[in-house]
Structure 1
Amino acid sequence: MTTSRSPVAATLEKQRDIQNEVARADAASSTGNGDRPMQAGARPYPVPPFPEQHQAKPGEEARLDPPPLYDAPFYKGSEKLAGKIALITGGDSGIGRAVAVLFAREGADVAILHIGETRDADDTVAAIRAEGRKALAISGDVKDAAFCRKAVAAVVEVFGRIDVLVNNAAFQVHTADILDLSDAHFDETLKTNLYGYFHMAKAAIPHMGEGSAIINTGSVTGLEGSKELLDYSMTKGGIHAFTKALSGQLVPRGIRVNAVAPGPVWTPLNPSDKTPEDVAKFGSKTPMKRPAQPEEIAPAYVFLASPHCSSYITGEILPIVGGY
């Protein structure tokens, strides 16, 4: 005589079968490629570990190993910014350089501001001109409102107007404990990252017309915070709020204001902040297990700058954070 199983026993057997199936899948994935850094671009990108290195502020792209990838050789321009005039702070290296190159490839003449990295600035100017566009480099400190006004006036004198302002210059140095964060350090971060954006926007807006755009560089730290970048996280969160508030003010003028919030990006900013040991594993904690290269971030700025792509977008924060 056969005894049929109870419904409870059948359910338990089914659940254990599912449990065993998942365990087999977990075991298979642990020996697979789950820890491999993600490569989804047109070319492979460098992955940690990187050579241990450290630079004095502000950091030089020419000395970074491996060199940041900024020229996006597979990116084809299509006149998205034809005839436009762009001004980019922190445009000598990193994200700023990559944005300058793609703006030029899309038909814009580009002015860059930098704080004194002459070699990097010269390389960026050469890259802009190689795209067939005009370039201008100006050295100075965006904390200084008078410099921001003079820089804008110089760009307008050369090019006649400003169509796109990219606020990108930044200061970052980690501090593990708030008690070690000096007033001078806090002041330098806030005045560079917040005052600089304010001064540049205030100086540029009178020279911008309907259809113009302002793009601010925020950060994942402004969205999530970073315990070792207390002051920097504050400024990036402030930049996000500034973006939203200013966008509302400028709707009547027809000027769009947006922000890009990157995660870790391989630029001189980080090796001039972190310890050599931390630089070696920079970006490894992202889901993609590597930092972005500047050329992976720059197309977002093209998108937000071009009236052909984003005419109905203002007051937005676009995170590019490697899968967080």
Structure 2
Amino acid sequence: MTDTPQPPQSQSHQPGRESEMTPRPASAMENWRGSGKFTGKVALVTGGDSGIGRAVAIGFAKEGADVAILYLDEAEDARDTQRLIEAEGRRCIAIAGDIGDPQFCQDAAKQAVERLGRLDILVNNAAEQHVCEDFSEISVAQVERTFRTNILGMMWMTKAALPHLKEGSAIVNTTSITAYQGNPTLIDYSSTKGAIVAFTRALAKSLQEKGIRVNAVAPGPIWTPLIPASFSEERTAEHGKSAPMGRAGQPDEVAPSYLFLASNLDSSYISGQVLHPNGGTVVNG
């Protein structure tokens, strides 16, 4: 992976579009060589159109799974992801909508099962973030929107998927390094990510008797569309420099954590845990 920093840039649309980024993130898992560990299985990935979600979805396809990707309105990115999955000889459906709407989550889970035949793996990855320099000025609307997408949407999607999951199924949630370190300009976002850690641990205990494992991944500074869609051009150019490795990570460097946690071959004795692909930051807790 390159140590060259990304140039200044920004986007006005949340959660951002990969097709508008320079350079484009490494999210196609080009160097991943699958072993068929998910052959015959179906995975559903929210926020699967770009960034980490795209890399995870393609990784599942390279390992033999059919994939349903959910996205908000980034149709071009979703088509690119679908094309890359189908190039691996797997089926892919792309479903547009807002996971903050419980009815959409119900419809999406039902559609995935009807069109792909089953559901074995759920990756709750979709999120948004909005910078606020002065917390005293944060709006009620922003807080409610961030919580609705990041944690409530995760709950609604999990609730919708659960009737279709069975013993041996897996759920992997995306939290963040901000859940552990905080971020002074992303207080509402950091709070949702902390809630996701608690949600993961509690849900893992709740589903243990059903044989469904629940884990999470807490990425550090990763080069995804959410970055230029959130920050100024100058701050985007600095993204990742504070990590011990001195650079932003790529989605392809994060996706293997999800594949590991979703696999009963690799992580059958792991539940309620969080992995930390963050460029070398030591996280305790």
Cα pair 1:90 1:115 within 8 Å, conserved: yes
Matches within 5 A, 1:39-118: 44-48=1-5, 50-58=6-14, 59-118=16-75
Cα pair 1:247 1:257 within 8 Å, conserved: yes
Query: Where in structure 2 are there 5+ consecutive unaligned residues?
Result: none
2:134 pairs with 1:184? no
Cα pair 1:47 1:291 within 8 Å, conserved: no
2:214 pairs with 1:257? yes
Question: In structure 1, what is the Cα distance between the partners aligned to 2:252 and 2:88?
Answer: 15
SS in 2 for 1:176: coil
Aligned amino acid, residue 303 of structure 1: F
Cα pair 1:88 1:96 within 8 Å, conserved: yes
Q: CA deviation at 1:159?
A: 1.6
Cα pair 1:45 1:293 within 8 Å, conserved: no
Q: CA deviation at 1:46?
A: 4.7
Question: In structure 2, what is the Cα distance between the partners aligned to 1:189 and 1:232?
Answer: 6
Does 129-138 or 173-182 show the bigger shift?
173-182
Question: In structure 1, what is the Cα distance between the partners aligned to 2:29 and 2:168?
Answer: 26
Cα pair 1:218 1:237 within 8 Å, conserved: yes
- Give the corresponding residue for 1:167: 124
Q: CA deviation at 1:176?
A: 1.5
Question: In structure 1, what is the Cα distance between the partners aligned to 2:236 and 2:154?
Answer: 27
Query: Where in structure 1 are there 5+ consecutive unaligned residues?
Result: 1-43
Cα pair 2:213 2:270 within 8 Å, conserved: yes
Question: In structure 1, what is the Cα distance between the partners aligned to 2:134 and 2:157?
Answer: 31
Structure 1 ranges of 4+ moved more than 4 A: none
Question: In structure 1, what is the Cα distance between the partners aligned to 2:76 and 2:3?
Answer: 23
Percent of paired sites with the same residue: 51
Question: In structure 1, what is the Cα distance between the partners aligned to 2:79 and 2:142?
Answer: 29
SS in 1 for 2:94: strand
Cα pair 1:71 1:98 within 8 Å, conserved: yes
Question: In structure 2, what is the Cα distance between the partners aligned to 1:62 and 1:101?
Answer: 17
Question: In structure 2, what is the Cα distance between the partners aligned to 1:161 and 1:75?
Answer: 25
Question: In structure 2, what is the Cα distance between the partners aligned to 1:45 and 1:229?
Answer: 27
TM-score (norm: length of structure 2): 0.97
SS in 2 for 1:248: helix
Matches within 5 A, 1:278-297: 278-297=235-254
Q: 1:239 aligns with which of 171, 184, 196?
A: 196
Aligned amino acid, residue 251 of structure 2: P
Does 228-237 or 172-181 show the bigger shift?
172-181
Q: CA deviation at 1:277?
A: 0.4
- Give the corresponding residue for 2:265: 308
Q: How many residues of Structure 1 are paired with residues of Structure 2 in the alignment?
A: 280
Question: In structure 2, what is the Cα distance between the partners aligned to 1:133 and 1:45?
Answer: 30
TM-score (norm: length of structure 1): 0.85
SS in 1 for 2:68: strand
Rg larger in 1 or in 2? 1
Question: In structure 1, what is the Cα distance between the partners aligned to 2:4 and 2:107?
Answer: 41
Question: In structure 2, what is the Cα distance between the partners aligned to 1:203 and 1:102?
Answer: 24
Q: CA deviation at 1:73?
A: 2.3
- Give the corresponding residue for 2:279: 322
Question: In structure 1, what is the Cα distance between the partners aligned to 2:17 and 2:241?
Answer: 22
Offset from partner CA, 1:34-85 (integer Å, 9 cap, x none): xxxxxxxxxx32532x221111222110010000001232221001111110
Question: In structure 2, what is the Cα distance between the partners aligned to 1:114 and 1:106?
Answer: 22
Question: In structure 1, what is the Cα distance between the partners aligned to 2:4 and 2:151?
Answer: 32
Q: CA deviation at 1:234?
A: 0.2
- Give the corresponding residue for 2:101: 144
Matches within 5 A, 1:19-58: 44-48=1-5, 50-58=6-14
Aligned amino acid, residue 51 of structure 1: P
Q: 2:179 aligns with which of 222, 242, 246?
A: 222
